[in-house]
């Protein structure tokens, strides 16, 4: 077993006296038994093996319905009539590359078992849904009941780099607070949140202070727990920790290059505070380094999050233009609606009645986002 990967990780299998080895590209591509020639695996676009063939062209054929149910017809009198081989007998792989249990007639989907006969998982998803997106609330549903379009490789989420635009709805005296989570392919993540270091009254007056980019590294287990509960403690200047609870997020898959770009931009803000904290004249430093400023109305947690995520999605910055002194909660709504085709909404933790109430969008934000979508459509039409 390759423990560095969350799926496509079965390297060998011993069943009785038979030992098999497996070789991978994007999925399993070949298998080899001791003393026999190599068998090649031909899969469909979902990763489901359709043919297992030897170099002489002979081999086995497999079939599945939309949700992965085995098309092999059981019954002793039917075996000779089958054009399909029964899954799980000669090799372990089945629908989308899942390992098939021919006794329980379920698929091993890493985090939980999947039953193709009903198109449902046998246990709840560790990633919780939200009432704002009702289709995410069913914790047992397989791929939103759309198995032709989506694939769930590990029983919870696809194995890719991800970035999350996080919103704490009751943060900053109910105006909201924005942060970023960047998830590595191994499930670990980097959490970033931008804050001011001045006092509250000065911030409310619109005075500048030195900005501080809080940063926490989360293990795979800590990342899963955070996305489940929304709770996190962030180290602050002076070695004390600030506790936050997040309620919702926008999420998208990113490439390895985009992952590096986001991390580099976030670390740039981390360094700005480190450098500013050692200078003698902070005002001169802020004049020379305007990105090091925290201003509640013009350069805050949400605008900095937008600047960082703008390196992979320019529309993330566009959503802030022309809005004026908007709040993080307002910005989240605008982005959620405007970017619905490229970012997925997910619930983080549990939202109560209070969070749902303060998350109601303003009329000005509703008008703004629809004007933006209209202008975007006109621009795309001209292109």
Cβ-contact 196, 208 below 8 angstroms: no
What is the pLDDT at residue 376? Answer: 55
Q: pTM for the full model?
A: 0.56
| Predicted pLDDT at 8 | 64
Length of the chain: 383
Domain ranges of the chain: 1-159, 161-382
What local confidence, expressed as pLDDT, does residue 159 receive?
A: 47
Buried b (16+ CB within 10 A) or exposed e, 107-143: bbbbbbbbbbeebbbeeebebbbbebeeebeeeebbe
Structure tokens of 362?
A: 């303003």
Placement of tokens 């970023």 in the chain: 180
- Where are any strands of DSSP class E within the chain? 12-15, 18-24, 28-33, 39-43, 49-53, 59-61, 99-101, 106-108, 113-115, 120-121, 161-168, 177-183, 189-196, 209-218, 231-236, 240-245, 248-254, 293-294, 344-347
Half-sphere exposure (CA, 13 Å, Cβ side) for 302? 29
Asked if 237 and 213 touch (Cβ cutoff 8 Å), the reply is no
Q: 92 and 106 in contact (C-beta within 8 Å)?
A: no
Per-residue pLDDT of the chain (383 residues; tens, 9 = 90+): 666 565 667 888 887 788 888 888 767 888 888 777 788 899 887 889 999 898 777 888 999 999 999 888 776 555 556 788 888 778 888 898 888 887 788 998 888 899 999 999 998 887 766 554 566 678 888 887 888 767 787 776 544 689 999 999 877 666 789 999 999 877 899 999 999 998 888 988 989 999 999 999 999 899 999 999 999 999 988 778 888 899 899 998 887 788 899 999 999 999 999 888 888 888 899 999 999 999 988 899 999 999 999 998 888 887 766 555 568 888 888 888 888 888 888 888 766 555 555 555 555 555 555 555 565 554 455 44
Looking at the DSSP bridge assignments, the partners of residue 120 are: 115, 141
Predicted pLDDT at 154: 72
- State the DSSP code for 116: T
Are the CB atoms for 10 and 92 separated by under 8 Å? yes
> What pLDDT is attached to residue 39?
87
């Amino acid at each position: 077993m390759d423990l560095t990967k969350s799926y496509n990780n079965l390297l060998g299998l011993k069943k009785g006296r038979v030992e098999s080895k497996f070789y991978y590209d994007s999925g399993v591509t070949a298998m080899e038994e001791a003393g026999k020639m190599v068998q090649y695996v031909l899969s469909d676009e979902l990763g489901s093996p359709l043919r297992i063939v030897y170099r002489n062209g002979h081999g086995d054929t497999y079939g599945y319905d939309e949700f992965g149910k085995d098309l092999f017809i059981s019954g002793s009198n039917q075996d000779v009539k089958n054009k399909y081989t029964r899954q799980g007998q000669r090799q372990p792989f089945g629908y989308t590359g899942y390992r098939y249990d021919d006794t329980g007639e379920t698929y091993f989907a890493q985090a939980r078992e999947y039953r193709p006969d009903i198109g449902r998982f046998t246990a709840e998803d560790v990633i919780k849904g939200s009432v704002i997106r009702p289709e995410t609330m069913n914790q047992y549903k397989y791929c939103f009941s759309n198995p032709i379009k989506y694939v769930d490789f590990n029983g919870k989420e696809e194995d890719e780099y991800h970035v999350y635009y996080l919103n704490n709805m009751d943060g900053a005296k109910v105006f909201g607070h924005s942060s970023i989570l960047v998830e590595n392919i191994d499930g670990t993540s980097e959490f970033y949140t931008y804050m001011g270091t001045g006092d509250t009254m000065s911030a409310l007056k619109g005075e500048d202070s030195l900005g501080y980019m809080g940063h926490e590294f989360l293990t795979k287990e800590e990342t899963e727990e955070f996305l489940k509960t929304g709770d996190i403690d962030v180290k602050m200047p002076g070695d004390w920790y600030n506790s936050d609870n997040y309620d919702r997020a926008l999420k998208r898959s990113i490439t390895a290059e985009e992952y590096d770009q986001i991390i580099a931009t976030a670390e740039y803000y981390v360094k700005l505070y480190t450098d500013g904290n050692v200078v003698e004249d902070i005002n001169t430093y802020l004049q020379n380094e305007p990105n090091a400023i925290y201003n509640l109305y013009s350069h805050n947690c949400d605008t900095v999050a937008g600047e960082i995520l703008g390196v992979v999605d320019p529309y993330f910055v566009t959503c802030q233009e022309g809005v004026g002194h908007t709040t993080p909660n307002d910005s989240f709504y605008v982005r959620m609606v405007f970017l619905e085709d490229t970012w997925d909404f997910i619930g983080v933790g549990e939202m109560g009645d209070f969070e749902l109430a303060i998350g109601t969008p303003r009329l000005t934000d509703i008008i703004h986002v629809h004007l933006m979508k209209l202008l975007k459509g006109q621009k795309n039409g001209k292109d």
